[in-house]
Structure 1
Amino acid sequence: MASLQDIQRRIASTKKTRQITSAMQMVSTAKLSQIQRFGSGYSAYAARLESIVEHLVSAHLFDNADAAHIPLINQRPIKKTGILVVTSDRGLVGSYNANIIKQTNALMERLGLTQDNTAILAIGGNGADFYKKLGFDIVLEHRGVSDVPSYNEIRDVVNTVTSLYDSEVFDALHVVYNHFVNRLTSEFRDVQLLPLTADTLHAMGGTNEDKAELDVQSVYDIEPDATAVLNVVLPQFAQSLVYEAVLDAKTAEHAASSTAMKAATDNAKDLIGRLELQFNRARQAEITTEITEITGGMAALG
């Protein structure tokens, strides 16, 4: 049985842990509120950009364009598939990273992807380290995404993603990440980003309410031609979707961290209660033993 000193040390240690996890929960909650405020502004921009592209589709601009000269919509034979995995750099986020990796592996199994026909683009250290150990080809690795990432911060990353596709390093691109639903819930999301299709428009971007606010007519006068216009608009749209995925994933990460730290704080509180009960019982038993010994000694002397 543990001594009273051992129990006291465990109580003191657990109280310190509770203080740390409680502070970390507060920090994560503050970061979550901050990125939600920032993300709401960007979502409005993304919704308007998506609405413009949707209207270009409805105006049959794609039909009049030369798809062979628009890399982002050109359907070419898929020899290699790119998987853009967005994870966190650190732990202490509950099952956040494990869920992404598990679901990504399931996706690759469904698509019949192996090390030979898959290129991994990793944003976040957990995903990069995991797939490096498995021997996958890591064509892009980016670590150290800030708590509230700005577009300028990851501009080079999103530009690299589209340039790798243009260079035919991979012929299709899936973006996989945890989508923020609310403070307690996130859900795995897989979107085939490239080549751009009508399904991509419906899978990502702003809400229908956001898009309804922008009334764009479905008739356009094109100058110089549809191909030139789409080669300007579509790369911006694809880059916007990549950045939006990173922003969404970072929001889910902060929520997961806040939830995990709250659970750790609650567990520490419960453990302290059990240890204090154990300490009181042990102390009571010790006092009872001392009283019994004194009483027995007095009886022997009498």
Structure 2
Amino acid sequence: MAESMNEVKHRIASTKNTRQITEAMQMVQTVKLNQIQGQTATYNEYVAKIKAVVMHLAESHLLDSQAPSKTQDQGKKGPTAYLVITSDRGMVGSYNSNALRGTNRFIADHTPNADDYVILAVGGTGADFYKKNGANVAYEYRGVSDIPTFQEVKGIVKTITQMYNDHLFSELYVCYNHFVNRVRSDFRVEKLLPMDRESIEQSMSGADGAGASIKTEALTAEYEVEPSEQEVLHAILPQYSESLVYGAILDAKTAEHSSSSMAMKAATDNADDLISSLELKYNRARQAAITTEITEITGGQEALNH
């Protein structure tokens, strides 16, 4: 009985130590979540402006010149690329599994042949998963900051755009978890390349938050562009690409911190339940041991009296 009580006592101490760790991690992730939500609010002001400009360009048909002709489209060959955003670490609940499951479903529906797609992975979990499963991982980026900076994303966008210009793939989809609130995130897919009027309008209609509130006034005349339409497009579209990728990574990181915070809260609650159960078990064992000792003492006293 003594050994059993010692084992239970050791498990209680061990569980309490684990609980302290999970509670501290929950607090850290909550702070990071609050910080990134503050940054997201600032970013939304910028992205609302850039998306409004791009929507005006789309409505005024300036983007039609960017769309490939049917002949060009038929002659353009290359795999589809999927930019998959996951975390670099574990202890984030179902965050990674939801992102990978959603991506796999989308790939199965659109490019079931493994030779027809490549993976561009932002986050070590996604990169390792697709490498392990034999997928063609053409690009990976690890170590995204907990609060991502715009400068980080510019490098990612530059590399991906160069790969597209080098015809390593023909179209690009961004796959990630969208932060809805602190207890929920939804999987989302957005088409990034080629950048034409149709894909931009789909992105606008599919977005929420800042994107959903974008409304453009009715255009009564076409734009008068100086020095040229191409100069305007060359200036605006790269910023639009950067804003989409940065917004997706920022959104995904927000969902990651939220999922991690919820996972650590669940772990802490489970530790509390386990501690209560172990303490009850320990008290019962201790009470049984005391009762046994009293019985033995009483029995010995009676034997002496006789």
TM-score of the superposition, structure 1-length normalised?
A: 0.92
Q: Distance in 1 between matches of 2:249 and 2:212?
A: 22
Identical aligned pairs, as a percentage?
51
Aligned length: 296
Q: CA deviation at 1:209?
A: 6.6
Look up the match of 2:179. Answer: 180
Look up the match of 2:253. Answer: 250
Q: Distance in 2 between matches of 1:201 and 1:211?
A: 8
275, 279, 292: which is aligned to 1:272? Answer: 275
Asked if 1:294 corresponds to 2:301, the answer is no
Q: CA deviation at 1:124?
A: 0.4
Q: Distance in 2 between matches of 1:119 and 1:89?
A: 20
Asked if 1:53 corresponds to 2:54, the answer is yes
- Specify the SS of the correspondent of 1:221: coil
Look up the match of 2:164. Answer: 165
Q: Distance in 1 between matches of 2:236 and 2:161?
A: 13
- Specify the SS of the correspondent of 2:189: strand
- Specify the SS of the correspondent of 1:3: helix
The RMSD of aligned alpha carbons is 2.1
CA pair 216-37 structure 1, distance change in 2 beyond 3 A: farther
Residues 201-220 of structure 1: matches in 2 within 5 Å?
A: 201-204=204-207, 207=210, 210-212=213-215, 219-220=222-223
Unpaired runs of at least 5, structure 2: none
Q: CA deviation at 1:93?
A: 0.5
Asked if structure 1 preserves the Cα contact closer than 8 Å seen for 2:47 and 2:210, the reply is no
Asked if structure 1 preserves the Cα contact closer than 8 Å seen for 2:96 and 2:125, the reply is yes
Q: CA deviation at 1:128?
A: 0.3
239, 242, 266: which is aligned to 1:239? Answer: 242
Look up the match of 1:25. Answer: 26
Asked if structure 2 preserves the Cα contact closer than 8 Å seen for 1:81 and 1:171, the reply is yes
Tell which deviates more after alignment, 185-194 or 220-229: 220-229
Residues 71-150 of structure 1: matches in 2 within 5 Å?
A: 75=73, 77=76, 79-150=78-149
Q: CA deviation at 1:146?
A: 0.7
TM-score of the superposition, structure 2-length normalised?
A: 0.90
Q: CA deviation at 1:199?
A: 1.1
Q: CA deviation at 1:24?
A: 0.4
Unpaired runs of at least 5, structure 1: none
Tell which deviates more after alignment, 195-204 or 215-224: 215-224
Asked if structure 2 preserves the Cα contact closer than 8 Å seen for 1:181 and 1:187, the reply is yes
Q: Distance in 2 between matches of 1:277 and 1:67?
A: 70
Asked if structure 2 preserves the Cα contact closer than 8 Å seen for 1:115 and 1:135, the reply is no
Asked if structure 1 preserves the Cα contact closer than 8 Å seen for 2:84 and 2:176, the reply is yes
CA pair 251-66 structure 1, distance change in 2 beyond 3 A: closer
Q: CA deviation at 1:202?
A: 2.2
- Specify the SS of the correspondent of 1:179: strand
For each residue in 1:248-286, what CA deviation from the matched residue of structure 2 results, as whole angstroms up to 9, or x when unmatched? 000000000100000000000010000000000000011
- Specify the SS of the correspondent of 1:116: helix
CA pair 237-288 structure 1, distance change in 2 beyond 3 A: same
For each residue in 1:210-240, what CA deviation from the matched residue of structure 2 results, as whole angstroms up to 9, or x when unmatched? 524x769663111233234223322221121
Q: Distance in 2 between matches of 1:208 and 1:156?
A: 24
For each residue in 1:46-88, what CA deviation from the matched residue of structure 2 results, as whole angstroms up to 9, or x when unmatched? 111011010111112124x36459xxxx856453010100000
